[in-house]
A and B are shown apart, each in its own frame.
Chain A
């Protein structure tokens, strides 16, 4: 059966006969964000999964604080922290199978690392020694995308291509609340639904697009409601509840893999830090709001659940903390080394085969570098 047949025909018929193509009710998100932790559903949550989520959340929180510190020390050009959003980051990575693909935005370094990418290579863009550090094919992670929502059609295209080739691969694309205003968000969701592509869109609604709050961004009942207009299900989930996000994403991934098409998931969360180290959040929001969200902390929510069920004790907490400290120490050590820069590499990957013009420019830069080296050597010689 072709995709077109599967979705049913939709052609205008002469008036007065007209029928909606489908009943929109099943596509609608729940009225409240779905929660697991602190509810009755928590008892059914798999202990192993909770432990894995917890370990990754603790590491993720530590990664955020370490990267922020490295920015203050001048080791990173910029770091958009995902502190407060670790549940979304970690759950996104853990909801995927190895053969699946992740399409991150610039705030999703944690998801990239949780997927297995080397923590230093994940920071190449933000350190500024190249635009992307890791091989996308190794862990099936696309480069961090800086232009908002532009990575979403890539995820749709990749998922579509995989399906055409007969591979049961799913793509998970990450975007923020601000990104949902972009045209590429709309086009990606529309293509995904028309093609019934095996793709899942996770919107991390962290409340702000730099300084602009959500109510200036959209008049929709919720971002999840936008799904209905494309003919795909919208799911609303508590983005600080790692177990809930993991469950909703796992369901959506399974649904996509089984040929059910795309899902839009809105995870309601909060950006605890400023947009980046270069931003001043006190200009657009108050401490009280931030404190209220700190009380709903994604790391503590899982910790509390595990502790209450007797699955985690002080020693376990300390072990997780220790593991995160080791990761941070390793990150610190490696990031405190100056990256190796090769100016000649600027010309190496513009085209598969370089052009005559780039060969000339390459020679020009080489000559400049050699002259620089000669001057340096002369000065050294003079000093001696």
Chain B
């Protein structure tokens, strides 16, 4: 599990490396999407792939998300492993019918005879100053569709490791890339990438005894920052990184909540109908007698994603998380 830190790599670089290594290892892996070829993607995540593997392996498609995913279905039927890029979260919506009516169901429809090993990469979330349609957190839509895996990395090592796993998976994976972490750096060695926990396992990123923050993707660094700040208040917060919303790791989450007795779920997605409701319900169903307080949610407001000059008021920040922690009925203790 040890890695020699050479020079810091960004999450974007780790994702590129994951695709490059997957393409080198398996000729069936094809990358496709808008601007992924010559340009290397609007976030440069596919940089160099077309040059190294040719345009047939890393293809600039026409600008049509349903067509991109729909043709990827046919390619997967013929034995390829398409890695599809949806340019932005909100631009993935035209592909919903293909995703929901076919991608998620084909294995089940054909009783396992026609699996669709497709990875759908979706840059998601806000905090990058994007104008409308460039900052959505769409994970709840995907989570509500049986047959899809929904995965989101929050660290550089996970970006590489989870994407390799997603591409190798025989099931369709919606791979949500937190775009405000694209340029986050970590001492990660591209030549000796660390093994990471499999898809479906959550990881405790910070141990703690007072309360558990449960989060994923773009909100992980915010939660870790909140946990540092909480020390001043005398709280020792635990932080769980879900990594995978589907399958959901009840075991790790519940073990954490049983240890601390208090939990706050943190995400950018709207609170109403968002992942936090499901997570809070699962914790309550499984750990009720270990809870000292109701499970709280810190989420984006139930509003259309705000314009960039106002988005800081929407995104869960350290203060809002600490306020929630303060409301965890501490007075009832002792």
Across the interface, which residues of B come within 8 angstroms of A349, CB to CB? 107-108, 110-112
Whether a CB of chain B sits under 8 angstroms from the CB of A328 is: no
Please measure, in the bound complex, the distance between the C-alpha atom of A254 and the C-alpha atom of B85, giving whole angstroms.
Answer: 33
Across the interface, which residues of A come within 8 angstroms of B30, CB to CB? 164
Do B77 and A158 have beta carbons less than 8 Å apart?
yes
Do A150 and B97 have beta carbons less than 8 Å apart?
yes
Across the interface, which residues of A come within 8 angstroms of B98, CB to CB? 150, 153, 184
Kindly identify which residue among B67, B79, B250 contacts A161, using a CB–CB cutoff of 8 Å.
Answer: B79
Whether a CB of chain B sits under 8 angstroms from the CB of A156 is: yes
Residue among B66, B71, B114, B251 with the most chain A CB within 10 A? Answer: B71
- Would you list which residues of chain B between 108 and 125 have a CB under 8 Å from chain A? 108-115
Kindly identify which residue among B55, B64, B69, B247 contacts A2, using a CB–CB cutoff of 8 Å.
Answer: B55
Whether a CB of chain A sits under 8 angstroms from the CB of B229 is: no
Whether a CB of chain B sits under 8 angstroms from the CB of A131 is: yes
Across the interface, which residues of A come within 8 angstroms of B247, CB to CB? 351, 355-357
Do A161 and B80 have beta carbons less than 8 Å apart?
yes
Whether a CB of chain B sits under 8 angstroms from the CB of A155 is: yes
- Would you list which residues of chain B between 234 and 291 have a CB under 8 Å from chain A? 246-248, 250-251
Whether a CB of chain B sits under 8 angstroms from the CB of A232 is: no
Contact with A along B153-181 (1 / 0, CB 8 A): 00000000000000001110000000000
Across the interface, which residues of A come within 8 angstroms of B300, CB to CB? none
Whether a CB of chain B sits under 8 angstroms from the CB of A330 is: no
Do B111 and A191 have beta carbons less than 8 Å apart?
no
Across the interface, which residues of B come within 8 angstroms of A159, CB to CB? 74
Across the interface, which residues of A come within 8 angstroms of B64, CB to CB? 187, 190-191
Please measure, in the bound complex, the distance between the C-alpha atom of A348 and the C-alpha atom of B112, giving whole angstroms.
Answer: 8
Do A350 and B107 have beta carbons less than 8 Å apart?
yes
Please measure, in the bound complex, the distance between the C-alpha atom of A89 and the C-alpha atom of B221, giving whole angstroms.
Answer: 58
Known A351-B171, A356-B250: A154·B70 in contact at CB below 8 Å: yes
Please measure, in the bound complex, the distance between the C-alpha atom of A164 and the C-alpha atom of B27, giving whole angstroms.
Answer: 11
Interface size on B, residues (CB 8 A): 48
Across the interface, which residues of A come within 8 angstroms of B71, CB to CB? 153-154, 156-157, 160, 188, 191
Please measure, in the bound complex, the distance between the C-alpha atom of A159 and the C-alpha atom of B75, giving whole angstroms.
Answer: 8
Do B251 and A157 have beta carbons less than 8 Å apart?
no
Do B70 and A160 have beta carbons less than 8 Å apart?
no
Across the interface, which residues of B come within 8 angstroms of A183, CB to CB? 66, 94
Across the interface, which residues of B come within 8 angstroms of A277, CB to CB? none
Across the interface, which residues of B come within 8 angstroms of A4, CB to CB? 55
Across the interface, which residues of B come within 8 angstroms of A242, CB to CB? none
Please measure, in the bound complex, the distance between the C-alpha atom of A132 and the C-alpha atom of B109, giving whole angstroms.
Answer: 6
Contact with B along A113-135 (1 / 0, CB 8 A): 00000000000000000111001
Contact with B along A173-199 (1 / 0, CB 8 A): 000000000011001101100100000
Across the interface, which residues of A come within 8 angstroms of B147, CB to CB? 350-351
Whether a CB of chain A sits under 8 angstroms from the CB of B146 is: yes
Do A356 and B251 have beta carbons less than 8 Å apart?
yes
Q: A4-B55, A157-B73 are in contact. List 16 more A-B contacts (CB 8 A).
A: A130-B111, A135-B110, A136-B114, A143-B110, A147-B102, A150-B70, A153-B67, A153-B73, A184-B66, A191-B71, A194-B62, A349-B111, A351-B107, A351-B247, A352-B115, A357-B247
Q: Would you give 19 A-B contacts (Cβ < 8 Å), ordered by A?
A: A130-B109, A131-B109, A135-B113, A136-B114, A152-B70, A153-B67, A153-B74, A154-B71, A154-B102, A157-B72, A157-B75, A158-B77, A160-B74, A184-B70, A187-B62, A190-B64, A345-B111, A351-B149, A355-B248
